[in-house]
Amino acid sequence: MKDLICDEFQYVVGDLLIRHHSILDVLSKLSESTCRVNRAIVKSVTECGCISIEAEKLQIPEQVQSFEELKDHLDNHLRGKICTNCEEVIMNELGKLLFYTAALCNTLDINMYDVFINEYNKASTLGVFNLR
């Protein structure tokens, strides 16, 4: 049942993708979409200012003994909260990224839900041994 929305989304993308049907077009649009997501986040920092980035070398205390303790010392370097406008722009760009990911799956005759489930199973089975 849960795979229906993913399958339906992939089916709709297949119906809508006319202009960029070639694998070369799909790959370039997927790459462009990734860049646009990155750009939207950067603009949230540089133009809007709703978030800022404060990055520095990660300092892990020597007494950290476990993965759980390590997670307490991690930082995503983001400060602030994305405003409604920036969130809308980023969500729009992420949607396009998902669209072209589904298009790539269609072009290669790969079920997007299967990709999702495969990655989920690896992450949940391997746990900390699947760190990225």
- pLDDT given for residue 126 in this prediction: 67
- pLDDT given for residue 3 in this prediction: 72
- pLDDT given for residue 130 in this prediction: 58
pLDDT tens string, the chain, 132 residues long: the values are 567 888 899 999 988 877 767 999 999 999 999 999 999 999 999 999 999 999 988 888 888 777 777 777 788 999 999 999 999 999 999 999 999 999 999 999 999 999 999 988 888 886 666 565
Nearest CA-CA partner of 105 in 11, 36, 18, 28: 11
Q: Is residue 41 part of a domain?
A: yes
Q: Is residue 47 part of a domain?
A: yes
Q: Is residue 7 part of a domain?
A: no
Q: Are 65 and 40 in contact (CB under 8 A)?
A: no
Predicted model pTM: 0.84
Give me the domain span that covers residue 100: 12-55+81-126
- pLDDT given for residue 127 in this prediction: 65
Distance, CA of 60 to CA of 70 (rounded, Å): 7
Non-local CB neighbours of 90 within 8 Å, separated by 6+ positions: 37, 40, 41, 44, 82
Greatest CA separation for the chain: 57
- pLDDT given for residue 131 in this prediction: 60
Q: Up-side HSE of residue 117: CA atoms within 13 Å toward CB?
A: 9
- pLDDT given for residue 73 in this prediction: 77
Residue with tokens 């990709």: 115
Q: Is residue 120 part of a domain?
A: yes
- pLDDT given for residue 2 in this prediction: 60
Number of separate domains in the chain = 1
What's the CATH code of the domain at 26? 1.10.287.1080
- pLDDT given for residue 64 in this prediction: 78
Q: Are 33 and 97 in contact (CB under 8 A)?
A: yes
